[in-house]
Structure 1
């Protein structure tokens, strides 16, 4: 592909990503993979260049543009070398017309800015995320894993965490294939740490998804005890099985719950669980480094639905805890409605529950919980709180 043809390919992809964001379709990385699957003529350098152009244009545009050309012109007008590639040649975009305006630059959509939990370091929200690894203590020690990754750096106060440069091909490594490590953001590792799961406990990961935090809990439990991974989406839970086998976490039990009737499927566990992790569905505002087009998908109405769903999940999760048990609530979100406000509302509804301090170094105390941000902590953005049921 010529450099100009790469620009046109980027525009085509951005058109698809913008339409998908408006319609609730597949994410950008899925659309990029599909695009190149049908275009085998594109070499590895072409794919990498187009992917970089796509994400650079997405990161620059705070509000969702009307077209891919608008998004790309916004990027090109800041880069004369790129603007020159709009030359109208074969497979190239038409020249930029005098007065043609590109997408406006920005980080946070205007309507969302006053809802953020803190004046978040906005440039860090759209920076490139590193690759964090969690050493799987069921199979290896940090020293054993470090030998496989000479470029890895330790993460302060997380003994099982290692950090690699952005884009490191971890899944091609022998250590990953043998289950010695999992790719997991340091913020997610802190949330698993806050659960304080121990061998012999009964633990439920309520919104387990593909099981990243479930596997961290399994390692903390040293494979001993009872660990449930629960979710309402079969395809997500199906991804946990192969990961658990690779990690040697064969004691995990999966629970496929019926959406809107979860309490019925969990009733047998009421009053018996030591720790419940509710990593609730959320706006994903803390993960924009990895999914920058998520800004274009979020609307006020969608945020309202998410806040209501988070409250509903907390309410059916609470009865599972034994007296004195702990519920850890977490979201990869940076809005107060999903974090501090959600926990405050739960405590008002459940008088027998209290919030307890979380003794750890990173993050900032934020209401009843802690807030992690990319700029302050070098992690994805998270709010999490530890709630205790009265004895």
Structure 2
């Protein structure tokens, strides 16, 4: 493909991504896979260049552009060499009109800028767009840390137990250690949340928003084999991914429960006031994962954020009902917005006098509003807020 054709393909792909962000459709990565599958004539170099154009635009614009063309036109001051590619020849984009609208604005949507946790200053917000590192968690029941450094001499030990960073681009899933269930790809922040839950060595643990089971598997690796871990979610597709993962990891103490949307309490009635630990990794805006999913900025609106915080409140309440006296609740969001983190915890504690904050002892993170804040700039992790509460 010519450079002009690559630029037009990036515009076309951005149009798909913008529409999906507007309509709450598929993720940018999944859209890109489909896009290139339908364009098999694009070689590896073409695909790489097109992706670079696309993600340069996604990372640059905090507010969702109206079109892919506007998104790339807005980058011309930063990419002046693109100007000559707009002319309509060689399958490239049409010539630029004198009064043509272009994307503009900051990286962080203006309506969100004032909603971050107070510790997240401009430097912290800028780090949300750095390239994310590759972290792995070692399943100590299947391997030793020494086996990791033997397999990957470039592995760097992280501050948490059995956690390592690998060079970006390492093909972890191609290695025997991965196939044997000895390692999982998992951000160190997610590992920290699982550690906070495992600290009390619960006998019965409920992962209320388990998804595909990342934190469920981490708990299983950290707890004795006679512990019982229940992974629950309303998404059948994501929940179904746990079974092959738990077999690979040898986590026979995990069972799954598919929850009926709007009827979650009925499905969990048998666990009411029985759990030593309830982990709520709640759905959120994903502001802490912009390094990996920058198009999430284009999906969130004030209305969607309000809906999300209402859901978080309901999950907080539901999860608390499953905890027995003396048990613990870990609430977590991959968000750095106060409305989804500290405000949720403080509101819960104010309306539930039978609960108290449980200190979290970890080598990473900063205390913040009855919990812990992790961020890319300060901790080298995705952005998270989480808290551990004890039922009296």
Does the alignment reach a TM-score above 0.5?
Answer: yes
Matched, 1:123 2:126: yes
Quote the offset at 1:187 in angstroms.
0.5
Matched, 1:230 2:232: yes
Matched, 1:299 2:301: yes
Q: How many angstroms apart in 1 are the aligned matches of 2:283 and 2:334?
A: 9
Q: How many angstroms apart in 2 are the aligned matches of 1:172 and 1:11?
A: 33
Q: How many angstroms apart in 2 are the aligned matches of 1:253 and 1:370?
A: 29
Matched, 1:20 2:23: no
- Name whichever of 146-155 and 59-68 sits farther off: 146-155
Q: How many angstroms apart in 2 are the aligned matches of 1:259 and 1:240?
A: 19
Q: 1:27 to 1:100 in 2, by over 3 A?
A: same
Matched, 1:148 2:151: yes
With normalisation by structure 2, the TM-score equals 0.96
Name stretches of at least 5 consecutive residues in structure 2 with no aligned partner.
Answer: none
Q: Which position in structure 1 is the counterpart of 2:138?
A: 135
1:94-113 per-position Cα deviation (integer Å, ceiling 9, x unaligned): 23344545311422111111
Q: 1:255 to 1:145 in 2, by over 3 A?
A: same
Equivalenced residues, count: 389
Q: How many angstroms apart in 2 are the aligned matches of 1:90 and 1:97?
A: 19
Q: Which position in structure 2 is the counterpart of 1:340?
A: 342
Q: Which position in structure 2 is the counterpart of 1:6?
A: 6
SS at match of 2:218: helix
- Name whichever of 291-300 and 50-59 sits farther off: 50-59
Quote the offset at 1:166 in angstroms.
3.0
With normalisation by structure 1, the TM-score equals 0.96
Q: How many angstroms apart in 2 are the aligned matches of 1:31 and 1:37?
A: 10
Moved >6 Å (runs of 4+): none
Q: Which position in structure 2 is the counterpart of 1:175?
A: 177
Q: How many angstroms apart in 2 are the aligned matches of 1:279 and 1:180?
A: 24
Q: Which position in structure 2 is the counterpart of 1:80?
A: 80
Q: How many angstroms apart in 2 are the aligned matches of 1:251 and 1:356?
A: 26
SS at match of 2:386: strand
Quote the offset at 1:223 in angstroms.
2.7
1:339-387 per-position Cα deviation (integer Å, ceiling 9, x unaligned): 0100011112211000122112222111100111111111110000000
Q: How many angstroms apart in 2 are the aligned matches of 1:266 and 1:383?
A: 26
Superposed CA RMSD in Å reads: 1.5
Give runs of aligned pairs for residues 1-391 of structure 1, distance below 5 A.
Answer: 1-98=1-98, 100-118=100-118, 119-120=120-121, 121-155=124-158, 157-196=159-198, 201-390=203-392
Q: How many angstroms apart in 1 are the aligned matches of 2:295 and 2:242?
A: 26
Name stretches of at least 5 consecutive residues in structure 1 with no aligned partner.
Answer: none
